[in-house]
């Protein structure tokens, strides 16, 4: 990173202790170097059964095409 300034820091968040620690470190770093923080929050949402069946059918078709 010679000669380049970090202007943006991306922080992935998922409510875990590690992601909160990462956010705290990113805030500290951003203050020191004058950059901005963007976050990406991930959710683990299980799709309903009907949606899973559609996805499984599509995946099966794609796998057959590749064979």
Secondary structure of the chain as H, E, C letters: CCCCCCCEEEEEECCCHHHHHHHHHHHHHHHHHCCEEEEEECCCCCCCHHHHHHHHHHHHHHHHHHC
What pTM value is reported for the model? 0.57
Segments making up each domain of the chain, as ranges: 8-66
At 4-44, the pLDDT tens digits run: 889 999 999 888 899 999 999 999 999 999 999 998 887 77
CB of 36 closer than 8 Å to CB of 10: no
The 10s digit of each residue's pLDDT in 1-15 is 567 889 999 999 888
- What per-residue confidence (pLDDT) applies to 26? 94
């Amino acid at each position: 990173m010679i000669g380049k300034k970090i202007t943006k820091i991306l922080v992935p968040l998922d409510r875990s202790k590690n992601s909160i620690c990462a956010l705290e470190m990113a805030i500290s770093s951003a203050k020191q170097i004058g950059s901005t923080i963007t976050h990406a929050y991930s959710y683990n949402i299980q799709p309903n059964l009907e949606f899973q069946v559609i996805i499984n059918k599509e995946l099966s078709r794609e796998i057959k095409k590749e064979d």
